[in-house]
């Protein structure tokens, strides 16, 4: 089951992310009609669309939490949240933690998103807000793919001792071993929430995002990583965020996002 969440807080270059769910779903349905996913399985897309009033972000967060709670209550397969900007993950993780109090969060992202602790949270600080609100503890977070952060964010990560696997540790030869280590880290939790910011991918393969950072995963490496992570027996929820169709003139990022979702089914 997939929940379409066109969340957009309107800050910076996230304007346009509310268009992503519709664009990605159109590509995903096209993919489902013409091909199989990498595992050879047919793609079956069942989607519920969430209507949000973006002029009231606090109410939008409440609706996202309610929608995610409903998905988890009647859980069939892996519930996937399709955004939208990364601020939606705050509400989704709140719902997840109520269902799995000892669950943890794995984030694939170029940035740690720990600049501030705003309410309602933005795409720059949703993770720090989760930690500051006590919804998650630092040992319940694992970050993969980091390669750009403010000095304040780096200091917070150090002080909190949050487990991280930055891109400087990843090479073509080491990716399998790094993913092994990530999966071992996730096995300490009773359940795993996977959050995928498309900017974990190098902009050569996914240019359609607000804050692209060179030196990320290739498209093939992303699909490999997701295929491996899908094998986690405790994977209970996932999201894909920060695709911006307005910054994706060739549609390459939307196509990659659709392919990534297909691998998570």
Q: How long, in residues, is the chain?
A: 265
H or E element in which residue 193 lies: strand 192-197
Encode pLDDT of 193-229 as tens digits: 999 999 999 999 999 999 999 999 999 999 999 999 9
- Bond into 234 cis (ω within 30): no
Q: What is the DSSP string of 115-135?
A: S---SS--TTTHHHHHHHTTS
First to last CA, the chain: 9
Proportion of the chain above pLDDT 90, given as a percent: 79
How far apart, in whole angstroms, are the C-alpha atoms of residue 124 and residue 120? 11
**In terms of pTM, does the model score above 0.75?**
yes
Query: Tokens for 231?
Result: 């094998």
Residue 22 has what pLDDT?
95
C-alpha dist (Å) from residue 198 to 73, 82, 84, 223: 27, 11, 11, 12
8 Å CB contact between 210 and 202 = no
How far apart, in whole angstroms, are the C-alpha atoms of residue 13 and residue 242? 10
Encode pLDDT of 128-142 as tens digits: 999 999 999 999 999
C-alpha dist (Å) from residue 207 to 12, 82, 247, 254: 16, 18, 7, 10
37 pLDDT above the threshold of 70: no
Q: How many CB atoms lie under 10 A from the CB of residue 164?
A: 18
Rg of the chain, C-alpha, whole Å: 17
Residue-range domain boundaries for the chain: 2-264
8 Å CB contact between 133 and 96 = no
Q: Say which CATH topology domain 2-264 has.
A: 3.40.800
8 Å CB contact between 164 and 179 = no
Mean of all residue pLDDT scores within the chain: 92
235 pLDDT above the threshold of 50: yes
C-alpha dist (Å) from residue 1 to 48, 67, 103, 142, 238: 8, 12, 20, 25, 11
8 Å CB contact between 250 and 201 = no
Encode pLDDT of 72-127 as tens digits: 997 778 999 999 999 999 999 999 999 999 999 999 999 999 998 888 899 999 99
Encode pLDDT of 141-169 as tens digits: 999 999 999 999 999 999 999 999 999 98
Q: How many CB atoms lie under 10 A from the CB of residue 26?
A: 12
User: Nearest-CA neighbor of 225 among 169, 264, 186, 184?
Assistant: 264
Residues β-bridged to residue 239: 81, 195
H or E element in which residue 176 lies: helix 175-186
């Amino acid at each position: 089951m997939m929940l379409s969440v066109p969340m957009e807080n309107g800050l910076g270059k996230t304007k346009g992310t509310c268009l992503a769910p519709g664009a990605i779903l159109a590509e995903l349905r096209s993919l489902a009609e013409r091909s199989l996913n990498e595992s050879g399985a047919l793609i079956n897309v069942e989607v519920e669309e969430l209507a949000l009033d973006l002029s009231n972000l606090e109410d939008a967060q409440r609706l996202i939490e309610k929608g995610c709670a409903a998905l988890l209550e009647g859980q069939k397969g892996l519930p996937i949240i399709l955004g939208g900007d990364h601020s939606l993950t705050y509400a989704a993780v709140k719902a997840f933690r109520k269902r799995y109090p000892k669950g943890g969060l794995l984030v694939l992202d170029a940035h740690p998103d720990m600049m501030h602790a705003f309410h309602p949270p933005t795409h720059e600080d949703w993770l720090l807000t989760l930690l500051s609100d006590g919804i998650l503890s630092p040992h319940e977070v694992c970050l993969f793919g980091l390669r750009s952060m403010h000095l304040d964010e780096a200091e917070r990560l150090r002080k909190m001792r949050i487990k991280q696997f930055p891109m400087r540790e990843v090479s073509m030869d080491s990716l399998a071993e790094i993913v092994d280590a990530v999966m071992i880290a996730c096995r300490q939790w009773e359940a795993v929430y996977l959050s995928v910011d498309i900017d974990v991918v190098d902009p050569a393969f996914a240019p359609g995002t607000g804050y692209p950072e060179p030196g990320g995963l290739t498209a093939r490496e992303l699909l490999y990583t997701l295929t491996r992570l899908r094998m986690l027996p405790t994977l209970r929820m996932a999201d894909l965020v920060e695709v911006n169709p307005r910054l994706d003139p060739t549609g390459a990022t939307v196509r990659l996002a659709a392919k990534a979702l297909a691998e998570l089914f």
